[in-house]
Amino acid sequence: MIEKHDVSWMRVDKELKDSFAVNYLHAHVFETQAVCRINYHRIFIIQEGNGTLQIDDNNYQISGNELFLLAKGQLYTFEEGAQITGYELSFGDCFWEKTPGSASNCKAVLFNNAVDNQQLPLNNADQSELNNLFQTLHQEYIKEDYPNKLDAMAAYLKIIMIKIANVNALLARGYDSYENQIYRQYLELVSSQYQTTHEVADFARQLGIPARKLSDLCRRCSGKGAKDIINGQIIAEAKRSLQFSSKPVKEIAYHLNFSTPDQFSHFFKKNTLISPNDYRGRFVNIGM
């Protein structure tokens, strides 16, 4: 478990030229490192590896032949001694805008609700195909700059995202369906507006469908109700703020659009079975 809530233990995600980078890591062993709150979406495709990767407050065992998808704003760290061979790809929203619009469905479903797609196992065929694509993109990335280089890399990124979407069971079941398009739009709205509204009806109104229909649609697409998706987004951000900032609970509550700290505390305890202060207390004195 990541063991610090003080922001001094959080490293800053380095700024990337053109909001894009892809690096190859060969038998890379991680030393002790501070937790990183990422400013870019990040993909790790791991060919071989061992150890533990923590994302937010969940631990994932590294075994190889797998993908890890991390969304902008998430926290992660590789535990000391973890070793991986594979590629690390990072991209920002402004770089993604260079990709053809037909790939937007992939990004929305994979990253706007990243916790459901955090670790994706790969069969040998998918691993081989994706490794080749990442290798080609990496070779393009390390070339000297030339006209339209960014557009070429964006095109490769689009292909990679479509291939990953095919691995993801949700998109494989209905990539171009009308319901999946509405679900993708809902995830985009929740990701950008969860700090201003928590009501399914508000999102349904923007989508032009009844709230009940939206909830039923979400259950068919993801197995979760529309309200569950909103609550999951809020709880994930609340945990990050409690664990890795020194903001008072009152300030976190108002930042997440709760009317009172008590309302936030009740919501947090209902969804996690622990109070905000007790959750934060798990990390206050550890390692100090």
Q: Indicate the burial class of 153 (C-beta count within 10 angstroms; 0-12, 13-18, 19 or more).
A: buried
Looking at the structure, tell me whether residues 58 and 186 fall in a common domain. no
Report the DSSP beta bridge partners of residue 77: 54
Looking at the structure, tell me whether residues 89 and 121 fall in a common domain. yes
Provide the 3-class DSSP secondary structure of residue 73: coil
47 occurs within a structural domain: yes
Q: What CATH number should be reported for the domain holding residue 259? A: 1.10.10.60
Asked if residue 68 lies in contact with residue 11, where contact means CB atoms within 8 angstroms, the answer is no
Domain final residue, candidates 147, 174, 201? 174
Looking at the structure, tell me whether residues 115 and 152 fall in a common domain. yes
Looking at the structure, tell me whether residues 21 and 148 fall in a common domain. yes
Looking at the structure, tell me whether residues 63 and 86 fall in a common domain. yes
93 occurs within a structural domain: yes
Asked if residue 156 lies in contact with residue 136, where contact means CB atoms within 8 angstroms, the answer is yes
Domain final residue, candidates 134, 156, 174? 174
Looking at the structure, tell me whether residues 163 and 241 fall in a common domain. no
Per-residue pLDDT, 226: 95
Looking at the structure, tell me whether residues 45 and 101 fall in a common domain. yes
1 occurs within a structural domain: no
Nearest to 189 by CA among 222, 216, 226: 226
Per-residue pLDDT, 1: 43
Q: Indicate the burial class of 252 (C-beta count within 10 angstroms; 0-12, 13-18, 19 or more).
A: buried
Question: pTM of this prediction?
Answer: 0.74
Scanning the structure block, which residue is given the tokens 């490293």? Answer: 11
Could you tell me the two tokens for 278? 């007790």
Q: Three-class SS string for 223-286?
A: CCCHHHHHHHHHHHHHHHHHHHCCCCHHHHHHHCCCCCHHHHHHHHHHHHCCCHHHHHHHHHCC
Distance CA 6, CA 172 (A): 41
25 occurs within a structural domain: yes
The domain of 183 spans: 178-284
130 occurs within a structural domain: yes
Q: What CATH number should be reported for the domain holding residue 130? A: 2.60.120.280
DSSP per residue over 11-41, as a string? EEPPP-GGGEEEEEEEEEE--S--EEE-SSE
User: Count of residues for the chain?
Assistant: 288
Scanning the structure block, which residue is given the tokens 């007790």? Answer: 278
Domain count within the chain: 2
Distance CA 127, CA 226 (A): 33
Looking at the structure, tell me whether residues 80 and 219 fall in a common domain. no
Q: Running along the chain, 288 residues long, what does each successive block of 10 average in pLDDT? A: 47 87 96 88 96 92 95 92 97 85 72 81 92 97 94 93 80 61 88 92 95 93 91 91 88 94 96 93 58
Provide the 3-class DSSP secondary structure of residue 5: coil
275 occurs within a structural domain: yes
2 occurs within a structural domain: no
Distance CA 71, CA 246 (A): 23
Looking at the structure, tell me whether residues 127 and 216 fall in a common domain. no
178-193 and 200-207 helices, crossing angle to 10°? 130
Looking at the structure, tell me whether residues 167 and 44 fall in a common domain. yes
104-111 and 178-193 helices, crossing angle to 10°? 60
91 occurs within a structural domain: yes
Domain final residue, candidates 122, 152, 174? 174
Distance CA 63, CA 149 (A): 34
Strand pairing category for 52-55 and 75-78: antiparallel
Per-residue pLDDT, 185: 87
Looking at the structure, tell me whether residues 156 and 211 fall in a common domain. no
Looking at the structure, tell me whether residues 58 and 96 fall in a common domain. yes
Phi–psi pair at 218, nearest 5 degrees: -60, -40
Scanning the structure block, which residue is given the tokens 């071989």? Answer: 48
Phi–psi pair at 60, nearest 5 degrees: -125, 125
